[in-house]
Amino acid sequence: MTKICSTRPVAQGDMLIIPIKAIPANTKTAMPEGHHFILAHSETGHHHVIERAKAEVYEAADDAFVAYVKALAPADITHLRPHDTHETVQLAPGNYEIRRQREYVAEGFRKAAD
């Protein structure tokens, strides 16, 4: 089953995907890895990814927990895991903010690990 995200926020695992009007100007272009952009890394290799050919990804300049996606066409965010996987989220063409869940550790906050 696929969740569709176009006008309302939707979650996939430890990510919240929020439709926005425009991507802020103070971002930097993310680097793809192969045919995908990794939106959320996993220590076990079960990344959350979006196809490079269908989207542009940007990193927030001042917040390691935030990224932005410009979907150029309907684009799927998939969870690279063969079992117990999160549902695919399909983004309609447009702009999105990706917020990563954070967890507290003695040194401060870090991205939630799975």
Share of the chain above pLDDT 90, in %: 53
What residues contact residue 100 under an 8 Å CB cut-off, 6+ apart?
Answer: 14, 15, 40, 65, 66, 67, 111, 112
**Mean pLDDT, residues 97-104 taken together:** 76
pTM of the entire structure?
Answer: 0.83
Residue 49: exposure state from Cβ atoms within 10 A (0-12, 13-18, ≥19): buried
- For residues 29 and 12, which has the higher predicted lDDT (pLDDT)? 29
Other Cβ atoms less than 10 A from the Cβ of 70: the count is: 17
CA distance 70 to 43: 26
pLDDT, tens digit, for every residue of 60-92? 998 888 999 999 999 999 988 766 667 889 999
